[in-house]
Structure 1
Amino acid sequence: MEESLLKSADLKATKKRQLLLSILQQENRAMTAEEVHEKATPLLAMNLSTVYRTLNTLTEKGILSKTQRKDKKAYYALEHHDHHHRLVCTVCKKTIPVDSCPLRELEEDLEQKTGFRITGHTLEFSGICPLCQKALTEEEN
């Protein structure tokens, strides 16, 4: 899969690019460059700056999406060219996908008003997951 994604974006299918895409696919969640680097380094030596450059190239080519969360960090994920919604725990960073989409009517309205052809969107709610809530409550007691 990684090789065909890269070729369709007119990029060489290097070992580093394939590895980073494989990690993001296996994890199936948005990850920081540092997290990707931590997973990749035991498998193939590379600098953190190489990981950043590669992730940014893959983002520019539309293979990855890049979002910035409240923690001010950039998160990278495979771009599905549709839309995705998620809940993100601000403590443990656990991400839970949300399947339903309440924004379809808003998309249609925005397209009519602006002339844009909307190809996707993201919606992210941040909060504290049940396990972290329990741990925080136990710490307080």
Structure 2
Amino acid sequence: MANLTLKEKDLKTTARREAILAVIVEFDRPVTAEDIFMAVLQREHMSLSTIYRALGALTEKEILLKNAGQDGKTYYQMNTRRHKHYLRCTGCNEIVPLNDCPLHALEKELSEKTGYLITGHSLELTGLCPKCAGKKNSPPNL
């Protein structure tokens, strides 16, 4: 799959790019360059700067999507041409995908009211997962 994607976008197919794409596909959620770096090291030796350069090229060719999280980190994911939304735990950083888009009706309403042709949106909801919420409500260990 990665080989076809790279060729379609006129990018040279390299073992490093293929390893990076394979890791991103395996994660199946938005990941940071550092997450990718740690996972890629299991397969192939490369520096973090090499990963950043590859991510830049893959993003520029629209193979990957790049988004800034509310935690200040940059996240990458495969561009499947379908938008996705997530819940992110601010305690443990767990990411849960949302299956439905709650913004379609709002987009339509805003488009009608403003005359804008809305071409996309992003949504990240943050909070505490049940496990982390339980820790916050637990009495301190004495």
Residue 123 of structure 1 corresponds to which residue in structure 2? 123
Match of 2:116 among 94, 108, 114: 114
Q: CA deviation at 1:31?
A: 0.7
Q: CA deviation at 1:135?
A: 2.3
Q: CA deviation at 1:109?
A: 4.6
Counterpart Cα distance in 2 of 1:29 and 1:59? 16
Counterpart Cα distance in 2 of 1:13 and 1:71? 33
Counterpart Cα distance in 1 of 2:51 and 2:139? 37
Q: CA deviation at 1:107?
A: 3.0
Map 1:37-116 to 2 at 5 A: 37-109=37-109, 113-115=115-117
Counterpart Cα distance in 1 of 2:121 and 2:80? 10
User: Which secondary structure does the structure 2 equivalent of 1:122 belong to?
Assistant: coil
Residue 30 of structure 1 corresponds to which residue in structure 2? 30
Contact 1:82 1:121 in 2 (8 A): no
Contact 1:64 1:76 in 2 (8 A): yes
Residue 9 of structure 1 corresponds to which residue in structure 2? 9
Contact 2:29 2:97 in 1 (8 A): no
How many equivalent residue pairs? 139
Cα deviation 1:3-58 (Å, max 9, x = unaligned): 11111111111111111110010110111101100000121000000001111111
Counterpart Cα distance in 2 of 1:139 and 1:2? 49
Q: CA deviation at 1:111?
A: 5.2
Contact 1:24 1:78 in 2 (8 A): yes
Higher-Rg structure is 2
Cα deviation 1:113-133 (Å, max 9, x = unaligned): 1245x2x43211011100111
User: Which secondary structure does the structure 1 equivalent of 2:122 belong to?
Assistant: strand
Aligned AA for 1:22? A
